[in-house]
Structure 1
Amino acid sequence: MPSVYCELNANVLHCTTLRKQVIAMSTSPYSIRLDEDLRKTLEREAAIEDRPPAQLAVRAIRMMLESKAAKRAAIDAAVEKADQGKFITADEMNAWIDSWDTENELSAPVASGQSNSQ
């Protein structure tokens, strides 16, 4: 786990991440400007978790970037699947949904090479 050191100066958070490696230690300083409310909220949360504010900031940035990467991967997979040209029609989808919670509930429609228009 990297060590994160942070210094707050005039509402600017200066962070340095130290990573211990077998051969060498690397640092990666990065500064961001925070509005007063965000800075106070970050410091309050850091105090609650008994962690440096920079550690929370790094975790939040990492989670956001991982989330964006996962979203892009899901979109790419959906586009790739859509490029195969297999869809269900609006009529098939509506009939299936209308059958939910009835005695004659239909199975989910199977995608085919048909157009996805009514």
Structure 2
Amino acid sequence: MTTTVVRPVAIKIDPDTKERVKRLAAARHRTPHWLMREAISQYVEREEKREAFRQDTLKAWDEYQTTGLHTPPEKVDAWLSSWGTDNELPAPACHK
């Protein structure tokens, strides 16, 4: 069985933000502590996804610069527009 050790972390926020967190927590029937943990978790998850997308984009750009393979946007648009229709097109091929 794996146990996770939770360590306290202190952050400093201005009084106005602190009051806003308290009001929102009360409205949600949660503690300010829960609300801040949730906000941080959601932020980190969103930013990890954004960073993964950025890394995928950089990798694709590097691959394009190395191989020169691409698909013209009009072919991609036509393919995407055909999705869900009776005349769905196959994915367009990459070429130089």
> Normalised by the size of structure 1, how large is the TM-score?
0.54
Distance 1:89 1:24, change over 3 A: closer
Larger radius of gyration: 1
What's the counterpart of residue 51 of structure 1? Answer: 30
Residue 83 of structure 1: how far off its partner (Å): 1.5
1:60 maps onto 2:39 in alignment: yes
What's the counterpart of residue 76 of structure 1? Answer: 55
Question: Partner letter of residue 83 of structure 1?
Answer: D
Moved over 4 A (4+): 22-25, 110-114
Query: What is the CA–CA distance in structure 2 between the aligned matches of 1:78 and 1:51, rounded to whole Å?
Result: 39
More helix by share: 2
DSSP-derived class of the 2:45 partner: helix
Query: What is the CA–CA distance in structure 2 between the aligned matches of 1:36 and 1:49, rounded to whole Å?
Result: 20
More strand by share: 1
Percent of aligned pairs with the same residue?
22
Query: What is the CA–CA distance in structure 2 between the aligned matches of 1:25 and 1:48, rounded to whole Å?
Result: 30
Stretches of structure 1 lacking an aligned partner (at least 5 in a row):
1-21, 97-106
What's the counterpart of residue 28 of structure 1? Answer: 7
Residue 81 of structure 1: how far off its partner (Å): 1.4
Instruction: Note the aligned Cα RMSD (angstroms).
Output: 3.6
Stretches of structure 2 lacking an aligned partner (at least 5 in a row):
79-88
Deviations along 1:51-92, whole A, 9 cap, x unmatched? 1101010010011111111011011111111222134568x6
> Normalised by the size of structure 2, how large is the TM-score?
0.64
